[in-house]
Structure 1
Amino acid sequence: MINNKLNPLKIAITGSTGLIGDNLKRFLKKKHIVFSVVRHKSCVEMNEIYWNPDNGEIDDKSLEGMDVVVNLSGSRLNRRICTNKDREEFLNSRVNSTKLLSKTLARLSKPPSVFLSASSIDWYSSECKYKVTEENGCNGNDFMAQMCKAWEDSAKVAEDSGIRVVNLRFPYVLSSVKSSIMASFIPIINSGVGGILGSGKQLMCYITLYDIVHAMSHIMLQESISGPVNMVTPMPTTNEEFMCILAELLNKPLRLRYPQWLLKILCGNSAKKLIKGNCYVFPEKLINSKFQFRYTDIKSAMSYTLGILTDNNKC
């Protein structure tokens, strides 16, 4: 239990150089003491903790007395999965690292009060035709869904030891850097060949980095929140709306529409998700805990992400 919410917390983060981790670390350092869990054994600096999940190595003594541990490790989710080797890398980079961290935290004499571990809304079946919450959603049968299940299950050792475990189910994270879906569309639209994908009616669940880091900070202090949490804005967008608004903000035309057969040629296995889209995932736990999203429509979310100030997103 985190007793005093006014005192700085000691927080350890794996994956702190990634898109979410880097932004979370910079945000939390304003009020808390943040430690990066890193893979370089030599020259470990102050506020760094060594681990190597590939070799099963971790400096468990340095994790003693942490208030919060955040696990964001794993190869990036938006790359192509074409071969069995890709699938194995995706699975192992998440499951093995989470297992190591979970087992280590469970045996500490002074374990953290809460363990936040990354997951994805890909856990849900894309066949769901209703508003999906953390309570009513069903697990999918495809590779990504089953990978997410194994990913979340690998944190169970920590949960069984009495640590509050939260599985952060992330959607598309809006960012202008290369590792995000929004960033991948920007040069395409700027070059004049951007277009609507398939029918354009498929849903896209998303969240801004601003709302992610504030939601994660909120969850750390909300002891009633545990288990899976949908880290999504309350209202998803459609692919057509997503592409049209992005083109509008970039001051570029959007005249093309890419049919399904062409997407399969251009994108390979990745086309299935682009064509099918997400189910309607709803952040029920965040809403019930009184968390307030700042960017709840796609235009203000994109404007914030691109650094375009509008009446809706001025600080």
Structure 2
Amino acid sequence: MKKIVIAGGTGFLGQALATHFESKGWKVIVLTRSENQTLEAGQTVFWDGKETGPWVEELEGASALVNLSGKSVNCRYHARNRREIRDSRIQPTRTLANAISNVAKPPAVWLNAASATIYRHSLETPMTEATGELGHGFSVDVCQAWENAFFQEHLPQTRKIALRTSMVLGHAKNSVYPILARLARCGMGGKLSHGTQMVSWIHQTDFNRAVEYVIEDHDIEGTVNLTAPAPVTNSVFMSTLRESLGVPFGLPHYKPMLEVAAWLLRTETELTLKSRYVVPEKLLQHRFLFRYPFLDEALRALSGNRSDAESSIRNHYSLP
């Protein structure tokens, strides 16, 4: 039986992956700081993300390790939160690197979470793994330090992949789709600010499938943009969301309103106003087939208007 170890696997993406791999017959180990936690999928093993301990035994002979550890960025970026956002990503990454270097049979591949926000604000130029330009500011600095911590340790028996993931659309409580859908149904699903900022996204199903794909394709390594191949503007995103839900109108949200709302909700406008024009060049070059390449299909599936089975037959996207 193949085994996958997921560090920080109790959240939306971790449980999505755990459920996916269990359905494929894999043994799934979830490393978590919460002792005796009951999850929908995966067997929990305690770790603190800082020190090695009995949990290191789970890495021995594992087919894959996925590290999703990190404090949510959905918060105000004051000094304490900035420190916690950075440390909660870099420290577990270094701890895992140390653990891998000290096991006899290390994981064959290590996938470390990263973020598509590492690229600069771009309205017109798509950012690929090969030609993408890095941005500036706190979030980008964290992303760069995170990837540096991941790649700096030489682990010759373990293939490394940094997953530069975009917004993942799924139904879990702590994911973004239910929030956006609720706003749209309340008539608040209009464009955010000018609406021209690009939105890179990926359906949860394709997120799971792409992670499995890069694990199995031994030629894929380095950075991978984990996003659908057809990003859209925020204005198109919101109008497509309304259409999928049968909502005819949505009030727009202008920047001063967003600043006030962000302050009240204890978050930052960067999460919605930065233009992320990111495309998955490496996945396409390696012939990965997206089940949901286009936003209208992905949102209709999430709204319940189209089944996974129907979409899996009709919708694929790859390079010629």
Q: Indicate whether the TM-score tops 0.5.
A: yes
- Classify the secondary structure of the residue corresponding to 1:59: helix
Residue 281 (structure 1) aligns with = 278
Query: In 2, Cα distance between the equivalents of 1:66 and 1:101?
Result: 13
Mapping of residues 139-154 of structure 1, within 5 Å: 139-154=134-149
Q: Deviations over 1:210-266 (max 9, x none)?
A: 001100001011111111100011110111111112112222232422222222222
Q: Whole-Å Cα distance in 2 between the matches of residues 37 and 53 of structure 1? A: 9
Q: What is the rounded CA distance, in whole Å, between the counterparts of 2:54 and 2:162 in structure 1?
A: 21
Give the corresponding residue for 1:53. 49
Q: CA deviation at 1:41?
A: 5.0
Correspondence for 2:176: 181
> Could you tell me the TM-score, scaled by structure 1's length?
0.89
3-state SS in 2 of match to 1:313: helix
What are structure 2's unaligned runs of at least 5 residues?
Answer: 314-320
Q: 1:312 to 1:236 in 2, by over 3 A?
A: farther
Structure 1 Cα separation of the partners of residues 274 and 150 of structure 2: 29
Displacement of 1:308 = 2.1
Distance (Å, rounded) in 2 between the aligned partners of 1:62 and 1:39: 15
For structure 1, list consecutive stretches of 5 or more residues without a partner in the other structure.
1-7
Give the aligned residue type for 2:298: A
Cα distance change, pair 185–68 in 1 and its aligned pair in 2 (3 A): same
Contact 1:106 1:157 in 2 (8 A): no
Distance 1:41 1:271 in 2: 34
2:33 aligns with 39
Q: Following the alignment from structure 1 to structure 2, what is the Cα–Cα distance between the partners of residues 38 and 14?
A: 7
1:70 counterpart = 2:63 = no
Query: 5 Å matches for 1:108-257?
Result: 108-127=103-122, 129-257=124-252
Selected match of 1:291 from 272, 288, 291:
288
The amino acid of 1:204's aligned partner reads V
| Mean Cα deviation higher: 159-168 or 54-63 | 54-63
Task: Give secondary structure in 2 for the equivalent of 1:233.
Answer: coil
- Alignment match of 1:271 (pick from 269, 272, 286): 269
Name 2:318's counterpart in structure 1.
Answer: none
The answer to whether the 8 Å contact 1:102/1:157 transfers is no
Figure out how many residues of one structure are paired with residues of the other and give that number.
306
Worse overlay, 265-274 or 8-17: 265-274
Cross-structure match for 1:5: none
Residue identity matched to 2:228: T
CA RMSD of aligned residues (A): 2.4
Paired position in structure 1 for 2:81: 86
1: CA distance between counterparts of 2:37 and 2:162? 32
Aligned 1:292-311 pairs, distance under 5 A: 292-309=289-306
Q: Deviations over 1:159-199 (max 9, x none)?
A: 44442110001101112334233322222222223321112
User: What TM-score, normalized by structure 2, do the two folds share?
Assistant: 0.87
Determine if the alignment matches structure 1 residue 29 to structure 2 residue 26.
Answer: no
Q: Is the 8 A contact 1:106 1:161 kept in 2?
A: no
